[in-house]
Amino acid sequence: MSSAPVIEIQDLRKTYRVGQVDVPALRGVDLAVQPGEFLSIVGPSGSGKSTLFHIIGGLTPPTSGKVRIMDQDLASLSDAGRTRLRRRTVGFVFQKFNLLPNLTARDNIAVARYLGGGSQKADPQFDEILRLLGISQRLGHKPNALSGGEQQRIAIARAVVNRPAILLADEPTGNLDTANSKAVLEILRDLNQRTGQTILMITHNTEAAAYGHSTVHMRDGQIVQRTGA
């Protein structure tokens, strides 16, 4: 792996105002993620995992600290600039599949390709990813005709259609049974190995976390331990 981080975070802090009370969600987080790394982030509810995820993805601004994505300081970008970076550089997979219910699986993926500025031409590499995901024969179906596992595979395809450098997965197996959870985790690992895509995965499940190269453990808004490679 390269020594130049694809994600670099320094003294990251986030405080939410709840009524008259300040509630700290992140308390000085430092983190570097290398290109091609598969990093799992674990911790109990309220540990700051999701806040960190949303800040890295440019969805939520920090209170203070620095976030650099692909050597770009997020604080230096306009709202439009962060949106462009998010669409072209970062793919998102959520616990709730968030598919558009009135569109087929194929059209859900096509919308993501269009919004990310991707070409509408045939892409042999993406076709191979569809085969890896095992959904090539399900693209004409709408979400309500797909199983939970199939919907999550479509969501992964949508997230990677424009070949983003970074994939952020927030509890991607949270709504799946054991067999589908294992299948999705193996797909993420295969994507990482075959395409060199950097993956950050939030999970409460230590068995799921083991699919990554390394694991960051969070508690009370801080990283308390990093294990693995």
Antiparallel, parallel or unpaired: β 214-219 and 198-202: unpaired
DSSP class of 102: T
Does residue 132 sit within a domain? Answer: yes
Amino acid at 202: I
| Through-space distance between the first and last CA atoms of the chain, rounded to whole angstroms | 11
Separation CA 207–CA 113 (nearest Å)? 32
| Within a domain: 155 | yes
Domain encompassing residue 98:
34-60+77-228
* Length of the chain in terms of residues written: 229
- Whether 88 is covered by a domain: the verdict is yes
C-alpha span between 15 and 26 (Å, rounded)? 7
Of the CA atoms within 13 Å of residue 59, those in its CB half-sphere come to 12
In a domain, 135, yes or no: yes
Tell me what percent of the chain is helix, strand and coil, each rounded to the nearest 5. 35, 30, 35
Query: Would residue 65 count as lying in a domain?
Result: no
pTM: 0.86
How far apart, in whole angstroms, are the C-alpha atoms of residue 85 and residue 89? 5
pLDDT tens for each residue of the chain, 229 residues long: 446 899 999 999 999 988 889 999 999 999 999 999 999 999 988 899 999 999 999 889 999 999 999 989 998 988 888 888 888 889 898 888 888 999 999 899 888 887 766 655 556 667 777 887 888 888 899 999 998 888 988 988 888 888 889 999 998 888 888 888 888 899 899 889 988 899 999 998 889 999 999 999 999 999 999 988 6
Domain membership of residue 137 (yes or no) is yes
CA distance 55 to 60: 5
At 196, which CATH number?
Answer: 3.40.50.300
* Encoded tokens for 22: 């300040």
Q: Is the dihedral of CA 190, 196, 201, 206 positive or negative?
A: positive
Distances (CA, A) of 55 to 24, 50, 90: 14, 9, 12
Question: Is there a domain that residue 125 lies in?
Answer: yes
For tokens 């042999």, the residue is: 124
What is the DSSP annotation of 110-127? HHHHHHTT---S--HHHH
How many structural domains is the chain composed of?
1
Question: Per the structure block, which two tokens stand in for 58?
Answer: 């440019």
**Does 179 reside within a domain?**
yes
